[in-house]
Amino acid sequence: MEKKNFKIEEDCVGLRIDVFLAAQLKGCSRTSFKNLVADGSVLVNDKVVKPHYHLKLNDELEITFPSKRDTALAPENIPLEIIYEDEGVMVINKPAGLVVHPGAGNYESTLANALLYHTKELSDINPQRPGIVHRLDKETSGVMVVAKNNFTHLELVKQFKEHSTKRRYIALVKGVVEFKEGIIDLPISRHPTKRKNMAVSFSHGSRQAQTQYRVIKRFDKFTLLELIPQTGRTHQLRVHLSYLKHPILGDTKYGNKNDFPRLALHAKDLGFYHPEKKQFMEFSSPLPKEIKDAVGDVKV
C-alpha cells in the first residue's frame, strides 16, 4: 500500500477534502477520493472524516492507497441463499460473518465477490460494490435486496434515502427492557477516539437517528425486541441500545462479545417498491438457529 501526507495551508482552507485531493493528486477522480474518504482510508489529524469535510488550517492528512492488485474485485464461489430473483433485483438471506462489500485492504470473500460469481447482471454505478444498494453489518444476518441493473439501483437507493422501504429487525438485548414500546431519538456521530465506532453525540455535526422498538418477550437476563429504524445511520441499532444500557448480545463493538455466540441482530423483513414490476413486495427470512435456540417457539 502507498501512503501520502499533506499539511493544509491557508490557500486550501475551506475546501472539501475530496475536491482538495482530486486537485493535488492527478489521475484519480473526485468520486474515487470520495469513496476513499468514506471507506476510512483518509485520516485528518488521525481521525476518520466525512467526504464533505471542509479543511482547516494545519490539518494533517494521511491517505492510504490500496495497491491495484488488492483492489481487483474477482468473482468467488461463495454460497448464496437466494430468496427471490428476477431480471431487476435479487433478494438474499445474508449469513452472519459475511462482509457486504470491499473496504480498505479487504477485497476478498465479500458478498460482492459472491454476487459476481452468481451473475454478470449487476448494477455497476460503483464498480467496487456491484449490485450493492444497502448494507448490513458483517455480523448481522438477514434479508437484503441487490440491484441487477443501474435503473433498479438508483430507484432503490432513492427509496432507502426517503425511508419508504419497510425494514424490521429482531434482536436479543442484555437485561430486561422496562417499557413495552417506544422510540429512541438520539443523534449519532463518529466516536471521538475510536475511528471505526459510532456514538450517541449531541455535538455539532451529529445526525438525527430514530429507532422504534417493541418488546416481544422478556426473559430473566435478556429481552427479545422488534426494531424498526426510522433513519439509516451506521451501527444505529447497536449504538442506540448500547447507550440505553441494553446492548445487543454478542456485540463486539458496543457490548460484550462473550455473552452470545454471535451478534444477536437479524434483519427479519424487508419491503420495497419494485422499480420494474411497479408493485410493493415484501420478503422475510427465518430467525437464525442461535437466536431461535435462545428464545424457543416465540412468534416474531
Q: Where are the domains of the chain?
A: 2-65, 71-162, 169-265
pLDDT for 66: 67
Give the phi and the psi of residue 6 in degrees, each rounded to 5: -135, 150
pLDDT for 164: 95
What is the spatial distance between Cα 94 and Cα 143, in angstroms, rounded to a whole number? 6
The fold for domain 169-265 equals Pseudouridine synthase (3.30.2350)
Q: Give the contacts of 289 (CB within 8 A, at least 6 positions apart).
A: none
- Ranges of the chain with pLDDT below 50: 69
pLDDT for 111: 96
What is the spatial distance between Cα 167 and Cα 230, in angstroms, rounded to a whole number? 9
Q: Where are the beta strands (DSSP E) in 157-285?
A: 166-174, 181-185, 188-190, 198-200, 210-218, 222-229, 265-274, 279-284
Common-topology check for domains 2-65 and 169-265: no
pLDDT for 40: 82
What is the spatial distance between Cα 34 and Cα 280, in angstroms, rounded to a whole number? 33
Give the phi and the psi of residue 5 in degrees, each rounded to 5: -125, 145
pLDDT for 138: 94
Q: Which CATH class is domain 71-162?
A: alpha beta
Contact 170, 227 (CB under 8 A): yes
User: According to the CATH classification, is domain 2-65 in 3.10.290.10?
Assistant: yes
What is the spatial distance between Cα 181 and Cα 184, in angstroms, rounded to a whole number? 10
pLDDT for 168: 98
Q: Indicate which residue of 18, 137, 251, 269 is catalytic.
A: 137
Q: Any idea how long the chain is?
A: 300
CA distance between the termini of the chain: 47
pLDDT for 106: 65
Q: Which residue has the cell 448494477?
A: 123
pLDDT for 180: 98
pLDDT > 70: what percent of the chain? 95
pLDDT for 27: 63
18 is catalytic: no
At 150, is the secondary structure helix, strand, or coil? helix
**Cα 212 vs. chain centroid, distance in angstroms?**
18
